Amino acid sequence: MPMLSSGFVIAGAYADKVRRTLFAQMGDYVKRDKAWAQKVAYAAAQLNKFLYTIIIRLGEQFKVDKGDVIRVRIEYDIDENTKEVKWKWETLQLEVFKRIPQDQVDAVVKEFTAKATEVLAATVAYSLKKLGETFDGDIVYTITLGDREVGAVVVMPVSGDLAILKVGAVIEPTPVVLEKTKLVIQPSQDLESTLKSTLSTIIQSAKHVSYDEALKMINAIRSKVTTKPMESIKVIEEEES
């Protein structure tokens, strides 16, 4: 049975490493059929979302941060009929190379793998902060998770009850680019609250991309209102011997 192993990678850069590793392992399938590329990208995004939830908990309990080195291992099945990568959640192993007893890390992983379906279905609690407006009236927002900036979006107001999300991108919990979406503003909401309440749903159907591609889009958006670029994570990783 195939296994994905991330090798040693800092916690802040695991998502891109997981995606690259899975695409490398599934390379023959991706070359053979374009539909596989979408399915592999989706599978990587699901694993990254799941890992994000666990790593956030480890950060809260044991002060694990994005500079700490981790290693992820998980087995998966390949369903050639439905063209799916199916993660075997019960095999997930997450090692954190910090002074934390491994049995305590294992306990957190086991807690989440026992409710994998629920974790994957949960929405991510994004917040928004207005960065400014373009010369033609578009509004640029930065997207945040907690105190971290993780994305950006451009919205074009059309009327009091309608706006268009023109483009956007996020890098956490997994890198995606958002495509044009109509936003219907309810009488009880304003533009920002409507965008915030629908953002997680929009992201679920977004295009899964590499970390570099998502970051490039974010900084292109930020440049529209002359905001300084979001810095890239300095990835220091080591392959397993």
Q: How far apart are alpha carbons 207 and 86 in whole angstroms?
A: 20
Q: Which CATH architecture best describes the domain 3-121?
A: 2-Layer Sandwich (3.30)
Domain ranges of the chain: 3-121, 127-223
What is the pTM (predicted TM-score) of this model?
0.77
Is 84 or 234 the better-scoring residue by pLDDT? 84
Return the CA Rg of the chain. Answer: 19
Angstrom CA distances, 165 to 152, 171, 180, 221, stand at: 11, 18, 5, 12
Q: How far apart are alpha carbons 142 and 151 in whole angstroms?
A: 6
Q: Which residue has the tokens 């392959």?
A: 239
Q: How far apart are alpha carbons 49 and 116 in whole angstroms?
A: 11
Q: What are the pLDDT digits (tens) for 211-220?
A: 999 999 999 9
Q: What are the pLDDT digits (tens) for 160-184?
A: 899 999 999 999 988 999 989 999 9
| Strand, helix or coil for residue 32 | helix
